[in-house]
Chains A and B, each alone.
Chain A
Amino acid sequence: MNILLMGNPNVGKSVLFSRLTGTRTIASNYPGTTVEFIKGSLKLGQEQAEIIDTPGTYTLEPTSKAEEVAAEMLKEGDLIINVVDATNLERNLNLTLQLLERPVPVIVALNMWDDTHHRGINIDTVKLEELLGVPVIPTVGVTGQGIRELVRRLPEAATPKVTYASSDERWAKIGDIVSQVQSLSHRHHTWRDVLEDLSNHPVGGAVFALLVLAATFFVIRFIGEGIINYVTDPLFNWLWTPLLMKLGLALGSGGFWHDILIGKLINGEIGYLQSFGLLSTGIYIPLAVVLPYIVAFYFALGILEDVGYLPRLAVLMDTLLHRLGLHGYAIIPTILGFGCNVPAVMATRILESRKERFIAATLISIGIPCAALQAMIIGLVGQQGMQYVAIVYGSLFASWIIIGLILNRAVKGFSPELIIEIPPYRFPPWRVVGEKLWLRVFSFIKEALPIVLGTVLVVNILYMLGVFDFIANIAAPVLTGLLGLPKETVVALSIGFLRKDIAVGMLAPLGLTAKQLVISTTVLAMVFPCVATFVILTRELGARDMLKATGIMLAAALIVGSLQNLIL
């Protein structure tokens, strides 16, 4: 049996889903967190039921790609749990009544029930159940209240099959229902209202946004550096290094296995950024340099998401983003890109037009460095002084804007206006923040670590075979002529296709000047997406547009790199 969770965006379907199935998913306080369906299972008596979390939709007549996914899924459902935001009954019932017209049994979960009390909303659920003709169960996804009752009453799901001649008739019916079941009482102005008013204000909102972003950067750097200085570096220096040295002696301090596992010794010692063995650099970069920043970034992002700040940022950024052929909501995939470009490109589905999706995905691939790359840039370029890191970020930001301005004119198609619901501020539910953080960090370890190790292995083998010398000689004119980089850097640049963090690591032993480091890391960030992003770009844009996007990246990287070489 297939059970679909359907409802408006941001009503808590994903939280209910993880409650029902025990599967962890990513839930946030903004519309459009889920852009594709996710399956899990639930034991119902003797039967095993398949539960499917769908992207939120306001209506069954889809207006975006994510909504299309939801409408398509409807065909496969045997039962629908319609998740309704209890604080917003009228608008949510529009979808409910549309669902009740279909020949599929429906049960209603009246979610965010706890919020109705704060907001002075009283709903007569018995009456609502009677008027709709299907079971209505009050639930609170984040605490689990009402979930057991929901599961117990699943078999009672009903198919009233009432149809309405027009949407006006449907709205009239909704008005009638709401007036019978809901009463509002006075509520006090709270801290939430004050903050909401502040972030809506055009000037206050901008100041507030700068404060939020500054605080976010500070928190990320504080946590990231904290973990590196107090956890991962001590662990590696005091525990791992002695072990590796012993292993090195056992391997005879040289030879094939020594070079593969431990790598070259630097002045008789292991240099974690330079030795390039599987067990030295291969483990150190992902776990000791990148992981701390992944944890820090996703912790900060999780809080921003769950508080409900991102849609407000979208409103604030709308005017600027329109110049780039996007609208405000594109800020959400963009921010996700600072973690990893893969989910970011997938999240471009929340944008309505093909033009917007192409521009957003291309700009993310060019101008938004992922957390792994950033951690390495801060680690390596930062050694020369933070002003050089600032030049790298500044160049990326400028390219992001300029390429956006150009693409907006060059790409055919339309960019629709912004239209989004702004969720109320909510105190982040720590369970949701924690689970989301764990899920994202775990998927980094699971998906990135094997690729990192594979990349280090490939690098070692290609070195031994002398392939790199060959490539370096071919690329020498472009690199030295245009970019002012030694020809060996081409090796790092091409390895960037596999993993960008390792690629930056490969720059470390080359003894580059600060200027050369700035140029090579900027080019590395812009030139190609890594292989994982490549796959997703192809899937989301199609092969043709992916090739176009790649051409733009190559050209942009060469131009920006050459300019840096001339100016710096």
Chain B
Amino acid sequence: MSQKIQLALGQMEAGQTGTIIQILGGRGLIRRLEALGIRPGKKVTKLSSMLFRGPVTLRTNQTQVAIGFGMANKILVEIDTSA
């Protein structure tokens, strides 16, 4: 069975995968992320984050996207934990 752990994308470990549950931001942010294919229901894999609260790189579908640390913390993800 899988447990449900929710984390902000910024808090995830590199290599972790999960499903986006919610984007905690204004309409502008939601629209810009959506345009890049980042929206609730999508699978995301966090690829890496830069030091000193630098940008977070993630993958949805076949695309790699880098977003600011602040934005990454507004994306709430349910982590896949296969056990």
Contact = CB atoms under 8 A, between A and B. Distances in A.
Interface of A: 58-59, 61, 63, 87-88, 90-91, 94, 119, 121, 167, 171, 196-197, 200-203, 205, 311, 314-316, 318-319, 327-328, 416-424
Interface stretch (B1-9, B16-24, B56-64): B56-64
B51 A315 contact: no
B35 A202 contact: no
A418 B67 CA distance: 5
A418 B56 CA distance: 10
B27 to A, nearest CB: 10
Contacts of A87: 62
B61 A202 contact: no
Nearest to A95: B35
A32 B22 CA distance: 29
Given A59-B31, A167-B34, A319 B52 contact: yes
A91 B50 contact: no
Interface of B is mostly: mixed
A318 B55 contact: yes
30 contacts: A58-B35, A58-B36, A61-B31, A63-B31, A88-B62, A91-B37, A91-B61, A94-B35, A94-B37, A119-B62, A121-B62, A167-B31, A202-B54, A315-B50, A315-B54, A318-B54, A318-B66, A318-B68, A319-B52, A319-B53, A319-B55, A417-B69, A417-B70, A418-B68, A419-B66, A420-B66, A421-B63, A422-B64, A422-B65, A424-B64
A316 B55 CA distance: 8
B60 to A, nearest CB: 8
A424 B57 CA distance: 13
B33 A419 contact: yes
A480 B80 CA distance: 70
Given A58-B36, A416-B68, 16 more contacts: A63-B28, A88-B63, A90-B61, A91-B37, A91-B61, A167-B31, A197-B47, A205-B48, A314-B66, A318-B50, A417-B67, A418-B55, A419-B65, A419-B66, A421-B65, A422-B66
A315 B35 contact: no
Contacts of A319: 50-55
A418 B66 contact: yes
A494 B7 CA distance: 59
Contacts of B70: 417
B36 A91 contact: yes
A105 B52 CA distance: 49
Interface of B: 28, 31-37, 39, 47-55, 57, 61-71
Nearest to A91: B37
Contacts of A121: 62
Contacts of A94: 34-35, 37
B38 to A, nearest CB: 9
Contact of B66 (A196, A315, A416): A315
6 smallest A-B Cβ distances: which pairs?
A417-B68, A58-B35, A91-B37, A422-B64, A200-B48, A319-B54
B36 to A, nearest CB: 6
A319 B50 CA distance: 8
B66 A202 contact: no
A90 B37 CA distance: 8
A90 B67 CA distance: 19
Nearest to B66: A315
Nearest to A319: B54
Nearest to A175: B41
Nearest to A119: B62
Given A417-B70, A419-B65, A419-B66, A328 B57 contact: no
Contacts of B61: 88, 90-91
Contacts of B37: 88, 90-91, 94
B34 A315 contact: no
A88 B65 CA distance: 12
B67 A419 contact: yes
A418 B61 CA distance: 20
B55 A315 contact: yes
Contacts of B55: 315, 318-319, 328, 417-418
Nearest to B70: A417
A495 B66 CA distance: 44
A314 B50 CA distance: 11
B59 to A, nearest CB: 9
Contacts of A316: 50, 54
Contacts of B57: 200, 315, 422
B16 to A, nearest CB: 14
A420 to B, nearest CB: 5
Nearest to A58: B35
Nearest to A67: B35
Given A419-B32, A419-B36, A421-B36, A202 B67 contact: no
A300 B39 CA distance: 38
A427 to B, nearest CB: 18
A88 B61 CA distance: 8
Nearest to A318: B55
B9 to A, nearest CB: 13
A63 B33 CA distance: 11
